[in-house]
Structure 1
């Protein structure tokens, strides 16, 4: 009888551990996906600016999309369109 109780406790703890690990790893993957999405915004803005420079165009002095999308982050955007940390 004692061994059955120990087996049940070990099974219960194993189930809790596996579910906690699954939750942790899924949250990590969601965080990584969010970071990739944020990086994509930066890369698009960078390549738009780079293509404008290569074509000889003038870069507009508007507020970059990066600043508009990160108002809650550590970036401080000025009216001239530049961002600083």
Structure 2
């Protein structure tokens, strides 16, 4: 038997199942729900330009860099706390 016959049978079975799936989705109102979405607004939201970094005046650059260091330190401390909580307890700690 040529190889094309089983392929065509499998393709027919797949298309038959796909037809039933599309029919079930349309009966459930799925396509009506898809049409109710405002796709143009969603696409415009994805295409918007990224927000630029805040412009800091020359007198406040030192304060801004100190603020960045402080926020970075807070993040590192929170990550360290999270890591410490995952460590096993010592034998004399009672767990």
What TM-score do you get using the length of structure 1 for normalisation?
0.37
What TM-score do you get using the length of structure 2 for normalisation?
0.33
The one of the two structures with greater contact order (alpha-carbon pairs below 8 A, sep at least 6) is 1
Please identify which structure carries the higher strand content: 1
Please identify which structure carries the higher helix content: 2
